[in-house]
Structure 1
Amino acid sequence: MSFTNLLVHVDDSDRCGERLTVALTLAQKHGAALTGLFAQSDSSGAGIVTRKAGPALTQAAQRARELFEEKAREAGVTTRWWQLSHGEYGHVIAETVICSRYVDLAVFGQHDPEDSRVPADLLEEVVLNAGRPILVVPHSGSYPQLADRPVIAWNGSREAARAVNDALPLLKQASSVLLLAFHTQPRAEGGGTVPQVDILEHLASHGVKATQERMTIASMTPMDAVLSRASDHGADLLVMGGFGGYGGSLFPLFGRGSNTRQILRQMTLPVLLSH
Structure 2
Amino acid sequence: MGYKTILSILDTQKTAQQVTDFSIALAEQYGSHVIGLHCEAVAGIPMMAPMEMPDPVAVQAMQDLAEKETAKIAEIFSHASQREGISSEWRSIATSVGSTDFLIDSGRCADLLVVAQGDSGALSEGRSEMEAALFESGRPVLLVPYILKTPKPIKRVLIAWNGSREASRATFDALPFLKQAEAVEVFSVVEDHNEKTSKIITAAEIATTLARHGVNITVTQEEKGELAAAAHIENRLSDAGIDLLVMGAYSHKRWWEVLFGGVTRTVLDSMTALTLLSR
Normalised to the residue count of structure 1, the TM-score between the two structures is 0.83
Q: What SS is found at the alignment partner of 2:268?
A: helix
**Partners of 1:57 and 1:117 in 2: how far apart?**
16
Q: Gaps (5+ residues) in structure 1?
A: 245-254
Q: Is the 8 A contact 1:151 1:237 kept in 2?
A: yes
**Deviation, structure 1 residue 13:** 2.6
Q: Is the 8 A contact 2:163 2:203 kept in 1?
A: no
Identity %: 29
Partner of 2:35: 35
Indicate yes or no: 2:276 matched with 1:272: yes
Partner of 1:248: none
**Partners of 1:87 and 1:196 in 2: how far apart?**
43
Q: Gaps (5+ residues) in structure 2?
A: 47-53, 252-258
**Partners of 2:197 and 2:27 in 1: how far apart?**
48
**Partners of 1:197 and 1:44 in 2: how far apart?**
51
**Partners of 2:226 and 2:194 in 1: how far apart?**
17
Indicate yes or no: 2:81 matched with 1:77: no
Residues 195 and 154 of structure 1: CA distance in aligned 2, closer, same or farther (over 3 Å): closer
**Deviation, structure 1 residue 188:** 6.8
Q: Is the 8 A contact 1:128 1:243 kept in 2?
A: no
Q: Is the 8 A contact 1:108 1:123 kept in 2?
A: no
Q: 1:58 aligns with which of 63, 67, 74?
A: 67
* Greater share of residues in strand: 2
Indicate yes or no: 2:93 matched with 1:88: no
Q: Is the 8 A contact 2:104 2:136 kept in 1?
A: yes
Q: 1:159 aligns with which of 158, 163, 166?
A: 166
Which protein shows a greater Rg? 2
Q: Is the 8 A contact 1:41 1:118 kept in 2?
A: no
Aligned-residue RMSD, C-alpha: 3.0
Q: Which moved more, 1:18-27 or 1:51-60?
A: 51-60
Deviations 1:185-241 (A, max 9, x none): 2237999xx899611111011111111111221211111111110111111110001
Partner of 1:8: 8
Residues 55 and 196 of structure 1: CA distance in aligned 2, closer, same or farther (over 3 Å): closer
**Partners of 2:215 and 2:111 in 1: how far apart?**
20
Deviations 1:135-193 (A, max 9, x none): 011123324214221111011110000001000011111111122023222237999xx
Normalised to the residue count of structure 2, the TM-score between the two structures is 0.82
